[in-house]
Amino acid sequence: MKFYSTNSQDVKVSLKEAVLKGLAADKGLYMPEYIPELEKDFFDNIQDKTLPEIGFEVLKPFFCPDIPEDKFKALVEDALNFDIPAVKVTDDIYSLELFHGPTLAFKDIGARFMARILSHFVADQKKDINILVATSGDTGSAVANGFYKVPGINVFVLYPKGLVSEVQEKQFTTLGENITSIEVDGTFDDCQRIVKEAFLDKELNEKLILTSANSINLARLLPQSIYYYYGYAQLRKAGIKDDVVYCVPSGNFGNITAGLVAQTMGLPVKRFMAATNINDIVPEYLKSGLYSPKPSKATIANAMDVGDPSNFVRILDLYDSKHELVKKKIEGCSFTDDEIREGVKRVDEKENYILDPHGATGYMALEKGLQKGEKGIFLETAHPAKFPEVVEPVIGRKVVVPERLKAFMDGTPKSVASNASLEDLKAHLLK
C-alpha cells in the first residue's frame, strides 16, 4: 500500500518513507491510499479473538507485505502484551481502560508499535534516526519509554514549561540514555509548531534523519484503531451488538481519527462523540462549519490543551472536507474545569469509579448525549494516579499508585531549557 499527503493525492510514498519522514514535504499528513473493508466473518466472531489477533488482522493491510507477515505478527504480540479491559461503570456506560501499559496511558499502544516498526526499518540505516515529539503530557512519557535504549534511535521530547503534571514529567525526564527532554518556555502549540518547522528545515534535514512520534506519524496513529475493535468485542461478549456509541476525550484528534478509520473499515459503531475541555475548536467547527484555531488555554485536562489539532486535517480528508459529512460522523461537546471536577466527584461517590480528568469528559458526554437503547463506551485514556493534584482534592483521599508509577517518581529529572524557537531547538539537535 502507498500513502499520500493530505495536501496532494499525487504525492505517494511507501510505508517506510511515510514512517521515517512522519510529515510530507508539502507539510501534509500521510493517509493510506485506500481504507480496506474487513470481512463480515471477522466481526461475527470478534468476541472470540484475542487482542493481538485483532491487532494483526486489522493492521495487516497497512503494514504487510512491507513488513513480512510472520515478523509483523510477532511485533503485534510483543507490543500488545497487556490487557485493555472494558469496565462497566453504569448499566449503559462502559470505560475502556487504556492505562494498563508501561506508562499508564493510551499512548503506550501507538508508541510501542511505532518503536518496533521503526526498529525494523532502521536496521539498514547508516545514520541514527532522530525522533522529535511534542507533548502536552502522556505522549512524551509513552514515546520516551517505548524507544528507551533502542539502538540507532535518539528521542527529543519537547514539553511546555510548567504545563505538564509532575508525574507525567518524571516519566520522560528521568530516563537519560538516548532520551533528551527539552523544556520549552511556551505552550504545547509552540512545541508542536517548532517540531513541524524542524521537519521542513533544510540544514537539519541535510545533517540528520528526522521523524516524528506524535500522532501525525501513521505508525503511531493506525495502531490506535485496534482498541476500538477490542472494546466492541468485549461488548459483544457481554451481549451488546448494536447501537454502540464511542466517546473520545480529544486534544490533537489523532485518537478519534483512528476510531473513524476503524468505522470506515467496517466496525459497527453507531456514532462517535468527541469530548474536549475549553479548547473547543472542533466542537465549534461542528456547530458553525468554520475551523478557527486559537491559542491553547491551560486546563486540568492538560493533554487536551490544543488550540490547533494536527489530525483534524485527516478527518477532513476522510470526508472530503464536507462539513455536513463530518457533522454526521462526530458530535462534539466541551467541559470547563469546574464541570470536570464535579464529574470526577459525582462518579466516585455514585458509581465507586475514579476517573482521570480526561476520561471524565468522555463519561459526562455520554451521560448527557446517550439516546434510548444505546450503550456508550468512553476511552479512559490515563490512570487517575497520574493526576493526583487534580483528583485527590476532589475525591478527598489518596489514589492508589501502581508500582510501575512509583518507580518513575523516585527518579531524578534531567532536562534542558529552550525558548520557543526553531533556532534554539536546532542548537540542541546539532550539538
- Which strands form 93-97's sheet, in the order they lie side by side? 86-88, 93-97, 375-380, 244-249, 271-276, 330-334
User: Among 249, 263, 196, 274, which Cα is nearest to 360's?
Assistant: 249
Give one DSSP letter per residue of 6-26, joined into a string. Answer: TTEEEEEE-HHHHHHH-B-TT
Q: Residues 6 or more apart from 315 whose CB is under 8 A from it? A: 253, 256, 257, 260, 326, 330
Q: 107 an active-site residue?
A: yes
- Helix or strand or coil: residue 290? coil
- Which strands form 8-13's sheet, in the order they lie side by side? 8-13, 3-5, 30-32
Q: Residues 6 or more apart from 416 whose CB is under 8 A from it? A: 180, 181, 182, 183, 428
Alpha helices, DSSP H, located in 238-374: 254-264, 281-288, 312-318, 323-329, 337-351, 357-369
Q: What Cα–Cα distance (Å) separates residue 35 from each residue in 58, 62, 218, 222? A: 11, 9, 13, 11
User: Among 266, 219, 245, 284, which Cα is nearest to 363's?
Assistant: 245
- Chain centroid to CA 300: how far? 18
CA atoms within 13 A on the CB side of 127: 11
Contact between 210 and 198 under an 8 Å Cβ cutoff? The reply is yes
Distance (Å, whole) CA 420 – CA 284 = 28
Q: How many CB atoms lie within 10 A of CB 425?
A: 24
Q: How many CB atoms lie within 10 A of CB 396?
A: 9
Taking only Cα atoms into account, the Rg of the chain, rounded to an integer number of angstroms, comes to 20
Look up residue 112 and give its amino acid.
R
Length of the chain: 431
Distance (Å, whole) CA 199 – CA 195 = 7
Q: Residues 6 or more apart from 189 whose CB is under 8 A from it? A: 295, 296, 306, 307, 308
Residue tagged active-site, from 60, 73, 107, 202: 107
Distance (Å, whole) CA 234 – CA 227 = 10
State the catalytic residues.
107
